[in-house]
Amino acid sequence: MSRPFNILGLQQIAIGGLSKRALGSLWTELLGVPKVGEFTSAAENVDEDILRLGAGMHAVEIDLMQPLDPTAKPRVHEPALNHIGLWVDDLPAAVRWLTEQGVRFTPGGVRRGASGHDVCFIHPKPGDGAEHSGQGVLIELVQAPVELQAALTAVRNAAPKPAG
């Protein structure tokens, strides 16, 4: 199957709970993962702390999220592992092609995410005439910056080829 895009790597893991303070006490205080930012969005019902694990092009973001209103949707704390984010080299091509293949996306389309990159979400459940979904996991596709694409391409090209 020929795809007009490539998944390049893990961009983030988002963890939800009723209290960022409780999440932060484990992740920042006890585990020592540094907080590098914050993001709040009434439209997305979220107040989050952004942590970074690792450095440079290989850093992975860990988002600790609490709902602004625990009774409103989206319920960012349910499930607790809210979503994973994947770097993609061509987000518009990925969304077009995946839609043609019957992948269900959440409402909102491509938009600017908390880290400043364009994002789009694959719905955790099938429906609305789309048969493919995250099967219970919300998956965020994140447009990879040009620098990251170049670095990962260089690593991929330098890697030994499998024997065959």
Domains annotated on the chain, with CATH: 7-157 (3.10.180.10)
Strands (E), the chain: 7-16, 35-41, 46-53, 60-66, 81-88, 111-112, 118-122, 138-143
Model pTM score: 0.82
- Tell me if 16 sits within 8 A of 74, measured CB to CB: no
Q: Is the pLDDT of residue 157 over 90?
A: no
- Give the sign of the dihedral formed by CA 64, CA 83, CA 91, CA 160: positive
pLDDT band, residue 154 (cuts 50/70/90): confident
Structure confidence by residue, pLDDT tens digits, 131-149: 899 888 899 999 999 998 8
